[in-house]
Each structure stands twice: as C-alpha cells, then as structure tokens.
Structure 1
Amino acid sequence: MTTVTDESLQTLRDALGPLKDREQVAARLLEASAKHSFDPDTELDWDAGIEDGKWFWPPELVSLYDTPLWRKMSEEQRMDLARHEAASLASLGIWFEIILMQLLVRHIYDKSVTSKHVRYALTEIADECRHSMMFARMIDWGGGPAYPVPRRYHNLARVLKTISTTPGSFAATLLGEEILDWMQRLTFPDERVQSLVRGVTRIHVVEEARHVRYAREELRRQMVTAPPWERRLTRLNCGEAARVFSVCFVNPQVYENVGLDRHEAVAQVKASGHRAEVMQTGAKRLTDFFDDIGVLNGVGRRLWKSSGLLA
C-alpha cells in the first residue's frame, strides 16, 4: 500500500489546481481565528428587547414567501412565521453542529496532537460550541420553541455519522454550513431584521468562513487520495444527507404554531418556484464545488436532484 505524504501531495492536483499543504492551511486559519473570534455572551446585547416591526428572518427567505397562502396572511402572521422559522433554522443548526463536532473529533483521533491541523480542528470545535449555545440563546430570546428534527432523521444521523468516512464527514460538514451561511450573509446586513438576530448571523458568518475553508481543503485532499470505494461511499452518503437536510430544513410544526394548516402549507412550499430558486441558489456555490471535485458523480447527482437542492 502506498502512503500519501504531505510532500507527495505537492505534486497532486484536482480540477481546482494543486492541493495545498495541510499545515500551511491550518496555520493561516489559526492566525485568522486569533484575530477574528467572538464571545457571543459578551459581544451581543441579550438584554435588548424585541424591536417592534422588525423581522426575525428576511421575508424573502421565509418558506411560504410569494405563495398563495402567503398572500392571504396578515403582516403580523407573516412576521410570526419568520420568528418561528428562525427558531427552526437555529435548532437545525445546533443539530448539525453537534454532529460536526463529533465528526471532527473522529477525524483528529489518530493524528498528531501537536500538529496545526489538529489544533485548528480543536479551535473549530470550540467555535461550534459557542455557536450552538448562541443559537439556543437566540431561540429563547425570541420566545420561540426549539424545533428538533423528526425522530427518524435524528436516528438516521446516528448511522450516517457512525459509518461516515473522512471525505463523507467533510462533505456533510459543508452541506450543513454553506446553505445556511448563504442565507445568513443576506440576513446580517438587512436592516429590516432584529438587531440581535443580525448580530448572531454576523458572528456566525465570520467564523464559519474559516470552517468552510478547512473543510473544503480537506475534502479536496480526501477525494484525491481516498480509494475508489470510499469516494463512492462519500457520494452516496452526501447525497442522502442532502435529501435529509432538505426535508428537515424547516420543521412543519412552525405552520401550525402560527395558525396555518400544516399540510396545505407544506404542499405550497413544495410547489413554490420561489422557494426552489432560493434553495438551489443557496446551494449553488457548494454544488459547483462538489461537481468540480467529483462528489456529484453517478448516484450522488441523482440524490442531490431528488433533494431539490440541485436543478
């Protein structure tokens, strides 16, 4: 069996160009973390009250936006739905980040504890701990309930994160980070949105940019060096994760909690051209990257198309 070293990786390429040195990438990310990390407990004004007339999420990103049901809703009901969807997305984010932390710990378990690569992974885990607590606190601040994913998907994630190989772990990481990141980049500068929610999304966007870089560089490395069976498994696991992600993105209980018929609301979201465009646009940067490095080959592409995240 041939061992692939960091030195030999300098001669390896993928469709995006030469692979970058793992330790150099980690060193730059550690430097950025030292300069641009936040403590949400002190950075944000948790004592601030809810601002009248402001949204918890940009209306264009609310699942029912521009549907017949949306047009029948009062402005107050629309804003309440946005509040509940923000709580649902924060709950989803916590679920994904808890999974991500477990995958990162597995990734570094057999690696040198003195390497910068491992040190950055531990830095990212610390970031994700703060993010999860921040999201939970935002849910509580907004007066919304937490929205756990359905039990069957909660348990399916146990299987996926148990059998996931290293490339599968980083592919799932990017799935959980990049679509929400795209939405949050639209949220934090939006003056229609609650100031505290904008602050939460700003912190998350700044720190997640490093996490995305780390995951992308490592996934590129893995898709070049992993054996064929592992690359095939990555395509399968990532495609299934995309399907679960799209189903769980907004908990349908939010519709009942604002006085809507759950089944009618879900049907209109599924039929919404605007919603399909939002989700596919949010995923496009990620799906383009996955396409470039071979994650969407074969069954992976079919599963992503079935998820609605790929046109």
Structure 2
Amino acid sequence: MEVKENPLAQWINAFLDECKIERQLSPHTIKSYRRQLDAIGRDLNIKDWKNLNTDDAKVVLHRASEAKLSARSINLRLTVFRNFCRFLVKKEVLTNNPVDNIHAVKENKPLPKYLNVDEVTQLLNFEGDDFLSIRDRCMFELLYGCGLRLSELTQLNITDILDNGQVKVTGKGNKQRILPLGKQAQIALENYLTKRTDIIAFEDEPALIISKRKTRLSNKQVANRLSQWAQSQTLFQHISPHTLRHSFATHILESSNDLRGVQELLGHANLSTTQVYTHLNFQHLSQVYDQAHPRAKRK
C-alpha cells in the first residue's frame, strides 16, 4: 500500500525548493528553514492549512516562548513562518497571511566584538615558512583585509583572484562583489600561492584555500586554525573569523565615516545592518561633532 506524503511536508518541500532555486539561499539557510518549519508543524498539528489563522500564529509564538528560546530564535521562527505563509498565499492555499499581524519580539542586540589595531597586528604577526603557517596567514589577511564572511573565504576559487589586485567574492544570495586587496593581503596571498603549487596544480583543484590533503578547507577548519593562532599569539579571548570581519568594518568606518562605502565592502543588502558599527564608532563621531559644530564648542 502506497503511503501518501503529508500535505504539509509537500508544501514545505515546495517552499524550500523555491528558496533554493529562485532565491538562491545557501544549504545552511535551507536546513535552518526546514528545522523551523518542522517545529511549527509539530506545534500546530493542523491537517487543513486552509484554515490557518492568527490564533494559530500566536500558538507558535507561545510555544517558542515556553521552550525558552531567545528573542532572536523566536523572531527567526516567526520570519520563516511568515515567509512560508506568504508562499501559501501565492499558491492560493491561504487567502491571507495570518502571521502579518504578529509582531517580532524585542531583541537586546549585543554589539559585535572586534579587535583594535594593535590586537590585529599581534594576531597576524606570526612567523613560519611552512605551508600551514603561510596558508593561515593568507586566510587571516583576507578575512581582515577584505572583511570577508567565513563562507566567502572558503568558497573562493583560484579564478576569483583577479589580475588587478582585486578579488571576486560571492556572498549571500549568490550576489557577487569585487573587493580590493590591501598590500599585506596581496603579499600573504602571493606567498601562499607559491607554496600551494608545491601541493597541487591550480588546474587540479579550483579551491583557493586548501588543506595538506589537497582538498577545499571547511569553515570549521578555518575557525579552529584561527582559534589556535589566537592562543599562540597570547590573545586570551575568543576570536572567530567574524571577529576579523567586524574589526575590518570598525576600522574602515573609524577612518572614513563612510557608512555606505562600508555597506558595499561588507556586501550588506540593507544599510540598517551596517549601522550597528556606528555604535562602535560613537566616541569618534562625538569628537568630530565637538570640533565641528558651532554650538558644541566648549569655552
């Protein structure tokens, strides 16, 4: 006897297929969406989704709160649920979106952690002429020098390194941007490419960053190497690849005060995402204000 697939599962699969193909969301995001939708399905246990209403959406919010999820996790679940219901409206399963009337939970957003210039220098100034040391120095210089996301670094291919001192980066939503390579990043990259040819020819492995096993390095491997070097360089704090991205953004903003420029460099779709760095830069902006505004000048 043939077992019919759950109607909800069919719609979830169709929605995730659209997210993957049309919106080009990453496999990590697709997995996260599926986890959220599976949890929503367990919370509601609804057979006929045409009758979904605002009270059902409130149940999802209540169950997430009962599970003591963080505000950020609750808002993620609501966002996924809202997008899924929007998809069902488009497919004429629902006549309206019941989650539109549910407001997000207020989040206390912590400021991103970053290193000051001296700490970055301390981290990156390590010696070693072996393959791993030279490769790691290149990875960290690219993360900090270009403000890359971890996945953007590990997805780089040899062909993404351009002849004019630039690198082509593929970010979220498969959006590409061209970034300049700073002097130190270029030096570290050239040293690494020379060592890399001793491991494997460029045409035999497209990945830029590889392991000694001649395969593309994973996100976890990069994070582990950075953590090891942070301890070796006596930086007794947790430093992740994203810490270097935050440090890049903070230092560029401190020097330029060009928020939109930083937005472009980071590959942020919305300026509001970049504006978190203005909080980190508040002291510098206050000094500019005190010096420039006629009503701010002190006697």
Q: TM-score, normalised by structure 2?
A: 0.27
Q: Based on CA coordinates, which of the two structures has the bigger radius of gyration?
A: 2
